[in-house]
Amino acid sequence: MWPSFAAESVKMVRRPGTWLLLAVAVVLSVVFTYLAPYAAYLDGSGGVLSDRTLDQMLPERLVGNSISGLPVFLGAICLILAVLTVGGEYAWGTWKTLLTSGPSRLAVYLGKLLVLAAATLVLVLVLFAVGAVSSALIAVTESQPLHWPTLGDLGVGIGAGWLIGMVWAGFGVLLAVLLRGVALPIGLGLVWLLAVQNLLAAVAAPILDWVAEMQKGLPGPNAGSLAAALGATADTPGIGAVVGAGQASVTLAGYLLGFILLAGVLLGRRDIL
Alpha-carbon 87 to chain mean position: 18
140-174 confidence digits (pLDDT tens): 999 999 999 999 999 999 999 999 999 999 999 99
Q: Are 33 and 239 in contact (CB under 8 A)?
A: no
Q: 252, 159 in Cβ contact below 8 A?
A: no
Looking at per-residue pLDDT, the higher value among 35 and 104 belongs to 35
Q: How confident is the model at residue 247 (pLDDT cuts 50, 70, 90)?
A: very high
d(CA 216, CA 137): 38
Q: What is the DSSP letter of 134?
A: H
Give Rg (Cα) of the chain. 19
Query: pLDDT tens for residues 94-152?
Result: 887 777 777 788 889 999 999 999 999 999 999 999 999 999 999 999 999 999 999 99
Domain extent listing, the chain: 2-269
Which pLDDT score is estimated for 223?
Answer: 96
* DSSP alpha helix (H) spans, the chain: 2-14, 16-30, 36-43, 62-67, 73-91, 95-100, 105-141, 151-179, 183-191, 197-199, 209-215, 219-229, 245-269
Taking a C-beta distance cutoff of 8 angstroms, is the pair 181, 140 a contact? Answer: no
Q: What is the pTM of this model?
A: 0.93
